[in-house]
Amino acid sequence: MNIFRFAGDMTHLISILVLLLKIYATKSCSGISLKTQELYAIVFVARYLDLFTDFISVYNTVMKLVFIGCSLAIVWCMRLHRVVRRTYNKDVDTFRHYFLVLGCFLLALFVHEKFTFQEVLWAFSIYLEAVAILPQLVLLQRSGNVDNLTVQYVFFLGAYRAFYILNWIYRYLTEPHFGRWIASVAGLVQTALYADFFYYYFISWKNNAKLQLPA
Amino acid sequence: CLQPPPKDEL
């Protein structure tokens, strides 16, 4: 474990807690893409299949359970909670995310570390996580100005993978035979997708104005 | 061939 990875995991955890706070405090999920949340639930379930087979550490197991639990709870909340689900505007959350699932799965069938069930699903989860934010970014652009908690949620979600890139650079430099090319390349793509969001986030922060994404 | 190292990252 290194500081970059720990910072990344904590930033990821904060992003999920901010989202839970927003939904719980405002009893509303307006501005949140259910499709992105469903993609994240798939990412965590597909990636953490080794939860019961490979014990890495208490920290690793606890964090996996938290990520799976929170992502499923958020999807449940947005689909079934009698108050929250009425605030979900499905007519603006129209990204065809099943194509993302299919595309990432096909890519994982061809590009993976080892052709085993667990490794192919792991690669699938890495590719899917890289593009999972797209429905949310599209929804942000469509819905113009959104509430602050949603903006913070997307910001922390983008920042966590940037920390992971520093972690991979650090591990590559300090550990012999460390090569996580699939995760590193996908992580770069994932962080790049946030680039314009980060730019407009910084501009809005500098001008102390609300975030305005160009439509 | 050797098993890829366990995924110790989240």
Residues A131-146 pLDDT 10s: 999 999 999 998 876 8
What pLDDT, in 10s, does the model give residues A79-134?
A: 999 999 999 999 999 999 999 999 999 999 999 999 999 999 999 999 999 999 99
The shares of helix, strand and coil residues in chain A, as percent rounded to the nearest 5, are: 75, 0, 25
pLDDT of residue A146: 81
The answer on pLDDT for A19 being more than 60 is yes
Query: Is A109:A132 a contact under the CB 8 Å cutoff?
Result: no
Query: Is A104:A120 a contact under the CB 8 Å cutoff?
Result: no
The answer on pLDDT for B1 being more than 60 is no
Minimum-distance CB partner of A56 among B3, B4, B6 = B6
Those residues with Cβ within 8 angstroms of residue A105's Cβ, 6 or more apart along the chain or in another chain = A124
Model confidence at A162, pLDDT cuts 50, 70, 90, reads: very high
pLDDT of residue A195: 92
3-state secondary structure A59-113: HHHHHHHHHHHHHHHHHHHHHHCCCHHHHCCCCCCCCCHHHHHHHHHHHHHHCCC
Q: A148-174 and A134-142 are packed helices; what angle lies between their axes, rounded to 10 degrees? A: 150
Minimum-distance CB partner of B9 among A5, A54, A113 = A5
Question: DSSP 3-state assignment of A49?
Answer: helix
Residue of A nearest to B2 (CA): A114
Mean pLDDT of A200-215: 88
Pull the structure tokens for residue A185.
């390349």
Look up the ipTM and state it. Answer: 0.86
Model confidence at A179, pLDDT cuts 50, 70, 90, reads: confident
| Contact yes or no for A164 and B8 at CB 8 A | no
Minimum-distance CB partner of A114 among B4, B6, B10 = B4
pLDDT of residue A178: 85
Those residues with Cβ within 8 angstroms of residue A128's Cβ, 6 or more apart along the chain or in another chain = A39, A42, A43, A46, A100, A101, A104
Quote the Cα angle for A13-A167-A52, to 5°.
55
What pLDDT, in 10s, does the model give residues A47-62?
A: 999 998 989 999 999 9
The answer on pLDDT for B3 being more than 70 is no
Q: A67 contacts in B (CB within 8 Å)?
A: 10
Model confidence at B2, pLDDT cuts 50, 70, 90, reads: low
Query: Is A189:A182 a contact under the CB 8 Å cutoff?
Result: no
The answer on pLDDT for A177 being more than 90 is no
pLDDT of residue A144: 73
